[in-house]
Each structure stands twice: as C-alpha cells, then as structure tokens.
Amino acid sequence: MTLSTEMILTLQQLDGIGNKTILKIANQAPTSIGDFGQLCDFWKSLKGKKFESFSKRDFEYAYQTALRIKARCEQEGVGIISYYDDDFPKMLRDCTDETGKLNPPIILYYRGNVKVLEKPGVAVIGTREPTMNGTQAGKYFSSEFAKRGYNIVSGLAMGCDAAGHQGALEVGGVTTAFLANGLDWESIYPKENLELAKDIVEKGGLLLSEYPVGQSCGRYGLVARDRLQAGLSYATVVIQTGEKGGTMHAVNATINSGKLLFAVEYKSDEDCTHEKVQGNIKLIKEGKAYPLRSASINEVFLMCEKAIRSEVKTVKQTSLFD
C-alpha cells in the first residue's frame, strides 16, 4: 500500500527507522496510510523490538517535527514530493547505489520547476579542479545535450558540475542540481555557487535534495546524492576525473545499473598527462566507458535515444528486501 508524504516524514524522525524500513512498512500495510491516527493504529500491529520500542510520546514528537518541517518548507518556497506521489520520478524508484543495490530516495525536497523531471536526464559530472579544456568540454557537451531537450543533471559543485549547469543555461536549456543540503538559500553548498543555484531556479531549472530546509551539507550526504544523479539520468558523462575521488561514486552507480557511461577523450599532452584525467583514460581503456569526442556527438545522441526508447534494465530490481 502507500504512505502519505506527511506520514513518511513522521517515520523519518524516529531513531533507527530508515528508508528501507519505511518502504517495508508500507508494503505490509493492508490499506493506504494517510493520517496520524491510521499510522498509530497500524504500528500497534507490527511485531519486533524495533517497532515495539517506540512510545506514543515518540510518535507524537515525530509527527509534530514533520509538521514543522512542512511549515518551514512552505515558508521557504520549497516543495516536497514523496515515493508514492504520481509525480515522483519513476527512474528514481529504480535508483541503485554504487554497489548495484536498489536504494531509492523516498522524500525529495525541490525548489524550482518540478516539470523538468519529465525531460530525459543526462548526468554531467567530474572533478572540482578541471583543466581549462575540461571546463570548456563541460560547457560544450552540456549545451549540446540541452539543445536536444535533455535535462542536464549535476551536483552544483565547483568545477565540472558548475560547467555542466552553465552550459545548459547558456543555450536556454534546463538543468537539475542534486544537493546534499537543505534548499533554503542559507544552506546552499558550496556558497561560491549560490548565485548559480538561484540562476538555475530563475531560468526554469530545478534544485533537488533528500534533506530538509536548514540542514547543512555533510560528507555522507555528498556521497549519497551521487547515486541520485546517475539514477535520474539515462546516461552519465564524465568530463574529467582522477582514478579515485567523488566522481567514481556516480560512475559506479551508472555501471552497476547498466546505463550508458561516456568519458570525454582528450588530445593534448597537457590534458592526457593531468592527474584529473587519468580516470577518464582508465574507464575508456577498460571498456567501462565509451569515449566521447565532439566528432562522435551524433552517435552518442543515437545511443541515448535508443536507451530512452527501450528503457533497458540490466540489473534485476524486483525487491528492496533481497
């Protein structure tokens, strides 16, 4: 059955109750649970120490906290969609992490035009310290995808992420930034890209997050959001990356979900010997990523269009509880 957004928010406030448990609870419910009374009545039927350890006071406190979160979001102009809503992105229900395990978000906070999620996504990612050619490549490939109607998905970080967002905006395209913090302007990270975040919203794009208004960015959140960039996209484009680093979280999520992975291939010695390009070279050499060049862009578009038409899923995703 289903849980309302308000009830999911309530359960998230209970210590030790994570996304997987919440979805499992919803799966066990005989009817949809839309209000606090229904949730309390159903909870009484659950067996096990984890469920029996919570008091009525715990639930009341969790519910009041959920209501405060909703009110704060409304004050900040931040919307909320949840796993069972009709407008929740289907691709994110099938989202896997970098190990290949199904790991969807169940609450998404958003700021901007949520209709952008109806467009096919392409993730554009990479190092925070690209070369000059890397920055140019990020803007170029993002703009080319955006001109063809793709939603450019990235993470608002300095470097390649910012170039991806900017490339889309410069040609009048749309872009979505997945953030690891709340979507009030004070919580935006990094601060250097606050104006870019505002520009994305003003120009018809979207900011998304799993985290409520007022929550600051943490290292775990940065890693967790990488799966969402890959999850929302039919393909991932690596602009520049070293052999290790944060970009590889989204790369591995892309590979383990069986989606298209492209890595920009460079010609100059300066780029090819740069530390932050060695990941590109390795991914291409090992056959994990298709080489991406400006000359092959039309072929890449055909591959992406085929993936969209077929919506091929190469990883079995039948249950959250295997």
CATH code assigned at 288: 3.40.50.450
Cβ neighbours of residue 12 under 8 Å, at least 6 residues apart?
22, 66, 107
Domain carrying residue 32:
5-76
Domain closes at, from 20, 53, 76: 76
| Residue 305, in any domain of the structure | yes
Residue-by-residue pLDDT tens, the chain, 322 positions: 799 999 999 999 999 999 999 999 999 999 999 999 999 999 999 988 889 999 999 999 999 999 999 999 999 999 999 999 999 999 999 999 999 999 999 999 999 999 999 999 999 999 999 999 999 999 999 999 999 999 999 999 999 999 999 999 999 999 999 999 999 999 999 999 999 999 999 999 999 999 999 999 988 889 999 999 999 999 999 999 999 989 999 999 999 999 999 999 999 999 999 999 999 999 999 999 999 999 999 999 999 999 999 874 443 333 333 3
Residues 113 and 53 in one domain: no
Rounded-to-integer distance, Cα 13 and Cα 64, Å: 10
- Distance (Å, rounded) from C-alpha 282 to C-alpha 186? 39
Instruction: Judge if 161 and 243 occupy the same domain.
Output: yes
Tokens of 221: 């959140």
Q: Please indicate, yes or no, whether residues 139 and 15 belong to a single structural domain of this protein.
A: no
Residue 285 belongs to a domain = yes
Q: What is the pLDDT of residue 314?
A: 41
Residue 115 and residue 238 in one domain: yes
Domain membership flag for residue 98: no
Is 128 domain-assigned? yes
Number of domains the chain contains? 2
Residue 275 lies in a domain: yes
If asked whether residues 60 and 113 sit together in one domain, one would say: no
Q: How far is Cα 81 from Cα 278, in angstroms, rounded to an integer? A: 39
Assess whether 140 and 263 both reside in one domain.
Answer: yes
| Distance from C-alpha of 261 to C-alpha of 152, rounded to nearest angstrom | 15
What Cα–Cα distance (Å) separates residue 120 from each residue in 123, 141, 175, 307?
A: 10, 15, 11, 10
What is the predicted pLDDT for the residue at 311? 74
In this structure, are 28 and 173 located in the same domain? no
In terms of domains, do 172 and 265 share one? yes
Same-domain pairing of 127 and 190: yes
In a domain, 118, yes or no: yes
Show which of 59, 76, 93 is a domain's final residue. Answer: 76
Does an H or E element contain 75, and which?
A: helix 56-76
Cis peptide before 190 (omega within 30 of 0): yes
Residues 125 and 250 occupy one common structural domain: yes
DSSP state of 245: S
Helix (H, G, I), strand (E, B) or coil at 288: coil
Residues 36 and 163 in one domain: no
Q: CA 16 from chain center: how many Å?
A: 23
Per DSSP, 69 falls in state: H
- Amino acid in position 253: A
Among 76, 95, 127, where does a domain finish? 76
Two tokens, residue 97: 């992490």
317, part of any domain: no
Q: Are 273 and 231 in the same domain?
A: yes
Is 89 inside any structural domain? no
